[in-house]
Chains A and B, each alone.
Chain A
């Protein structure tokens, strides 16, 4: 799993690439937790290069979303591939998350969330 971190104003973007399974999800969890601990409450996760996700990956995203909403922040997701989107759908997660087709839109909406 490769994790690239980018700044977009008050939003941080995490671009993930590879498989998001029980092996790699700890690494992603650490990155997100690290950002929140530094005081960042608006995070966009770009999943364009993620070809596979299992429940472990969903768990990390759900934990981050819960924590950020409590802090009046937001976690938005961008660029889900069809199979990844399907896994979110089956889990009933599509209704919990703000999901966007393009990263720029996710960043704009995440920056404005709750304001």
Chain B
């Protein structure tokens, strides 16, 4: 059984479904329980949506824009690392949304990063060699 699987995807919102299928397939192979698979799939989807919408916002280079997703399993933890060459952006320092406010006050946005934090056990970010490197970890 494999402990490390990686795949590159075109940075296109139309690819989100394929990215989701890839995550689910790999995490099932890793033996992660279904609710956690769903949580990590959502966290990865949110991260990739942000990269495609904001990180790679330059249409001129859109054809070559890619996202690399690496899944690895080691000692009861599963790590998913997402790498892209878009604009540097650290989602780990974004302030969380206020979930207690009324409908009128409720901001539209900021939820994706909140999901990434809430649904994983650990999240870390570095910018290295011109790449955003985001790693999300779940323990099982």
Contacts and interface: CB of A to CB of B under 8 A. Distances in A.
Interface string A81-104: 001001100111000100000000
Interface size class of B (residues with CB under 8 A): 20 to 34
B17 A23 contact: yes
Interface of A: 19, 21-23, 52, 54-56, 58-59, 62-63, 65-66, 69, 83, 86-87, 90-92, 96
Contact of A69 (B45, B100, B103): B103
12 contacts: A21-B16, A21-B20, A22-B13, A22-B49, A23-B16, A54-B42, A54-B46, A56-B49, A69-B103, A86-B38, A87-B115, A92-B99
A66 B105 CA distance: 10
Contacts of A96: 103, 106
Interface of B: 13-14, 16-17, 20, 38, 42, 45-46, 49, 52-53, 99-100, 103-104, 106, 108-109, 111-112, 114-115, 118-119
The majority secondary structure among interface residues of chain A is helix
Contact of A21 (B17, B104, B118): B17
Contacts of B42: 54, 87
A90 B115 contact: yes
Contacts of B108: 59, 62-63, 66
A54 B63 CA distance: 25
Contacts of A91: 99, 111, 114-115
